[in-house]
């Protein structure tokens, strides 16, 4: 089959690789019809995630048709159309029983490696380094899906691929980011990052009852898309201090909750400073957005981190956090928890996830898709690849 392979920093290629096989009785093989490139893939692309191997198949947002099932698979049969969540979860461990699927205790065969870096291991993830399992990803023609009874969700007839695809990641991720804020009527939510994840966080915040959402980024077209959802745009390059701007916009109190939908590769006013910090051997990730989110949040508010971080950061404002009674919540999305309810929101017409798609390419054009998405060329927001 053809698959998008990571060949080194900023080098992905569509290569011929062997077809996947059933390895365990709970596996299924999916023939992929649509798949997407995620901001998380950019962290791999830019070489920020350790334990990548040349040749690793990328991709964790995909859907398609079941073409083979292992003998223990009960709920799926050949021909079913499914969308696959990016965290791999067994469904039976204590974490899975608590619906904390992205920290499943059984799905990372390289758990020992992750424990070395993080203390304990999160779940396995498709196409996302060997630290999270070394699973072949879904930017390919076929993929093997472990624990097929637990993850994949059947897509109802009449729903297009484009409507269902983002249930694999960015819609649940944005939704969880907003849900972690514990939004109450009248709340103002500030969202750092207006990429695809930020866009879904903004819309989810409104769905969950926020009265105002302030959207922060530097790309005009991304801010415009946020505005279309009803958010108030804040271009961080236009202001001296995001903290001051937010203070003013919220009448001196600060947003009730702040969502970091940027992660480890933040840009911004602190960028040069953080390079200097890195020069002093003090951090692996650039927590520019996170620092701002913490400083800007109102007393007693919540900071929700859904942007991905990999290692450690410097000048983490623990004093602000502690003295002002803030709450931090974070995580890779527990996608399985949100798929059904969000599918229903789509069916009821409460949201149409296709708004985020700006480019539809063939799988063969994946390298161009990565390059466009990274460099925000042609107002690129979300690239969907078709097989």
Partner 1 sequence: MTFTQNAARDRTAARESRRDQPQGGGALTPALGWFSLGLGLAQVAAPEAMTRLVGAGGGRREAQTMRAVGLREIATGIGILTQDRPAGWMWTRVGGDVMDLAILAGASSSRGARPERLAMAGAAVLGVLALDWLSARQESAAHDGHPAAREDGPVHARGAVTINRPREEVYRFWRQLDTLPRFMSHLEAVEPVDATRSRWRARGPMNTTYAWEAEITEDRPNERLAWRSLPGADVDNAGEVRFERATGGRGTVVRVDLRYTPPYGRAGMALAYLFGREPGAEMRDDLRALKQILETGEVTMSDAMLGRVRHPAQPDPRPVPHTSDHGRPV
Ligand X SMILES: NC(=O)c1ccc[n+]([C@@H]2O[C@H](COP(=O)([O-])OP(=O)(O)OC[C@H]3O[C@@H](n4cnc5c(N)ncnc54)[C@H](O)[C@@H]3O)[C@@H](O)[C@H]2O)c1
Residues that bind Zn ion (CB under 5 A): 38, 40, 89-90, 93, 96, 104, 106, 169
Closest CA to 87 of 179, 180, 150, 175: 150
Question: How many H helices and E strands in the chain?
Answer: 13, 18
Residue 44 touches which member of partner 1, ligand X, Zn ion, none, C-beta under 5-8 Å by kind: none
220 by Cβ neighbours in 10 Å (0-12 / 13-18 / 19+) ranks as: exposed
- Residue whose CB is less far from ligand X, 2 or 218: 218
Residue 108 touches which member of ligand X, Zn ion, partner 1, none, C-beta under 5-8 Å by kind: partner 1
The answer to whether 326 contacts ligand X (rule: CB under 6 A) is no
What string marks each residue from 131 to 150 as x (binds ligand X by CB under 6 A) or -? --------------------
Applying CB under 6 A, among 45, 192, 206, 370 the residue interacting with ligand X is: 192
Owner of token pair 């990730």: 285
Distance CA 125, CA 136 (A): 9
What string marks each residue from 45 to 84 as x (binds partner 1 by CB under 8 A) or -? -----xx-xxxxx------------xxx------------
- Residue whose CB is less far from partner 1, 5 or 84: 5
Closest CA to 38 of 4, 66, 81: 4
- Residue whose CB is less far from ligand X, 144 or 286: 286
**Distance, C-alpha 251 to centroid of its chain:** 32
Write the CA distances from 98 to 43, 47, 211, integer angstroms.
Answer: 29, 33, 30
The answer to whether 353 contacts ligand X (rule: CB under 6 A) is no
Applying CB under 6 A, among 5, 14, 29, 38 the residue interacting with ligand X is: 38
Residue 124 touches which member of partner 1, Zn ion, ligand X, none, C-beta under 5-8 Å by kind: partner 1
In whole angstroms, how close is the CB of 295 to partner 1 at the nearest point? 24
User: How many Cα atoms occupy the beta-carbon half-sphere of 209 within 13 Å?
Assistant: 9
- Candidates 61-69, 129-137, 291-299, 355-363; binding stretch for partner 1 (CB under 8 A): 129-137
3-state class (DSSP) for residue 11: strand
Residue 130 touches which member of Zn ion, partner 1, ligand X, none, C-beta under 5-8 Å by kind: partner 1
- Residue whose CB is less far from ligand X, 20 or 174: 174
> What is the C-alpha end-to-end distance of the chain, expressed in Å?
11
Closest CA to 63 of 183, 145, 186: 145
Task: Mention every residue, 6+ apart, whose C-beta is less than 8 A from residue 380.
Answer: 358, 359, 372, 373
Q: Inter-axis angle of helices 170-179 and 335-347, to 10 degrees?
A: 100
The answer to whether 165 contacts ligand X (rule: CB under 6 A) is no
Residue 369 in contact with residue 42, Cβ under 8 Å? Answer: no
- Candidates 6-14, 38-46, 93-101, 127-135; binding stretch for ligand X (CB under 6 A): 38-46
Residues 56-115 that bind ligand X (CB under 6 A): none
The answer to whether 39 contacts partner 1 (rule: CB under 8 A) is no
Residue 230 in contact with residue 258, Cβ under 8 Å? Answer: no
Number of residues that bind ligand X (CB under 6 A): 34
Applying CB under 6 A, among 3, 12, 42, 131 the residue interacting with ligand X is: 42
17 by Cβ neighbours in 10 Å (0-12 / 13-18 / 19+) ranks as: middle
| DSSP assignments along 70-84, one per residue | -TT--S--TT-EEEE
- Residue whose CB is less far from ligand X, 155 or 372: 372
- Residues near ligand X, by CB under 6 A: 38-40, 42-43, 169-170, 173, 192-198, 216-219, 222, 236, 261-263, 266-268, 288-289, 306-308, 332-333
Applying CB under 8 A, which residues contact partner 1?
Answer: 3, 5, 17-26, 50-51, 53-57, 70-72, 90-94, 97, 105-113, 116-117, 124, 127, 130-131, 133-137, 144, 146-147, 275-276, 278-284, 311-312
């Amino acid at each position: 089959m053809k698959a998008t392979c990571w060949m080194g920093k900023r080098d992905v290629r569509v290569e011929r690789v062997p077809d996947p096989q059933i390895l365990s009785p709970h596996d299924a093989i999916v023939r992929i019809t649509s798949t997407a490139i995620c901001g998380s893939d950019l962290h791999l692309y830019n070489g920020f995630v350790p334990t990548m191997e040349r040749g690793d198949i990328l991709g964790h947002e995909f859907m398609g048709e079941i073409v083979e099932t292992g003998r223990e698979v009960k709920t799926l049969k050949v021909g079913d159309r499914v969308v696959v969540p990016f965290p791999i979860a067994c469904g039976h461990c204590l974490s899975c029983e608590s619906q904390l699927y992205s920290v499943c205790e059984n799905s990372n065969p390289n758990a020992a490696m992750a424990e070395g870096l993080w203390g304990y291991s999160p779940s396995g993830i498709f196409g996302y380094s060997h630290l999270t399992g070394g699973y072949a990803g879904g930017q390919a023609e076929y993929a093997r899906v472990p624990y097929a009874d637990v993850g994949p969700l059947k897509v109802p007839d009449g729903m297009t691929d484009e409507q269902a695809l983002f249930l694999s990641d960015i819609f649940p991720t944005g939704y969880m980011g907003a849900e972690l804020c514990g939004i109450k009527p009248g709340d103002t939510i500030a969202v750092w990052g207006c990429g695809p994840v930020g866009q879904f966080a903004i819309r989810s915040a409104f769905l969950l009852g926020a009265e105002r959402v302030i959207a922060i980024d530097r790309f005009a077209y991304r801010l415009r898309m946020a505005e279309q959802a009803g958010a108030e745009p804040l271009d961080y390059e236009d202001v001296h201090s995001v903290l001051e701007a937010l203070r003013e916009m919220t009448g001196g109190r600060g947003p009730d909750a702040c969502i970091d939908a940027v992660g480890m590769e933040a840009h911004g006013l602190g960028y040069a400073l953080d390079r200097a910090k890195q020069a002093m051997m003090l951090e692996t990730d650039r927590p520019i957005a996170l620092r701002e989110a913490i400083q800007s949040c109102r007393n007693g508010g919540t900071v929700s981190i859904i942007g991905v971080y990999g290692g450690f950061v410097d000048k983490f404002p623990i004093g602000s956090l502690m003295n002002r009674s803030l709450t931090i919540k974070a995580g890779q999305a527990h996608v399985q928890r949100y798929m059904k309810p969000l599918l229903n929101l789509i069916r009821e017409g409460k949201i149409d996830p296709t708004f985020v798609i700006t480019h539809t390419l063939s799988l063969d054009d994946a390298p161009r898709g990565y390059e466009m998405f990274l460099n925000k060329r042609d107002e690129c927001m979300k690239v969907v690849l078709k097989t």
